[in-house]
Amino acid sequence: MNKRKNKIKLLPLNTLKKTGEVDFAEWNYRPFLGYIQRKRFQLCVQLLNDYRFENLLIVGYGSGVFIPTLAEYSTNIYGIDIHNFADDIKKVLSAYNIQANLLSASAHNIPFSDNFFDAIVSISAMEFFNDLENSCLEIKRVIKKAGCLFVITPGYSKFVDLGLKILTGKSADVDFEDRRQKVIPTLMKHFEVKEKLYFPKFSFIKLYTALRFAPLK
């Protein structure tokens, strides 16, 4: 891995492909809400620590909005998601000279061999997984023993949920059910926390928690 400085690069709003009911990539471009949304990506860049990986997988790549940034950190970038728009998104990315290996697949059945990835990234995705336990086992299977797992997940707060409802009309209870509370405890059964960041940094209410994990032996 070689050190390399990068800034956040997102796909332009007019190129984004809506891939499902919970794909809200366009929120990144809204006033105020966009500032909050983009903080997830800034946290991820902080955790990536300017390193470049050989093979990087993004689990739940959605519209591919963040792939231009992740491509700067990897020689080969891969992505899995349950939607069927991989070819459409690959065409969008190719217009920006990004060749991404995107597949339609779930996190609890990742179609790659053992110990294949140097890094795996999941941003605002795990709280949607119905089979979180087996997803963690699959992620652990395909990541190298010295690999890094980067996870950014939303906090749980009635106050934050109310704000989401006001800004977007969406219900966190409907979208997430009780999965937000299970993400980190389940991950810690299989991975060791190496670094942790929050947004906001100095507040008892955490909109996002960002973690860098290493696989447990």
Confidence label for 1 from pLDDT (cuts 50, 70 and 90): very low
Query: What CATH class has 24-215?
Result: alpha beta
pLDDT at 2: 40
Q: Give 174 or 25, the one with higher predicted confidence.
A: 25
**Residue 43 to residue 123: CA distance in whole angstroms:** 10
Q: What is the mean pLDDT of residues 11-22?
A: 94
pLDDT at 92: 97
Confidence label for 58 from pLDDT (cuts 50, 70 and 90): very high
C-beta separation of 152 from 179 below 8 A: no
**Residue 30 to residue 202: CA distance in whole angstroms:** 24
Interval 133-171: pLDDT, tens:
999 999 999 999 999 999 999 887 665 665 556 667 766
pLDDT at 165: 63
pLDDT at 179: 78
**Residue 217 to residue 215: CA distance in whole angstroms:** 6
Enumerate the domain spans of the chain.
Answer: 24-215
Q: Give 179 or 187, the one with higher predicted confidence.
A: 187
Interval 114-141: pLDDT, tens:
999 999 999 999 998 989 999 999 999 9
**Residue 37 to residue 43: CA distance in whole angstroms:** 11
pLDDT, the chain, mean: 90
**Residue 41 to residue 147: CA distance in whole angstroms:** 20
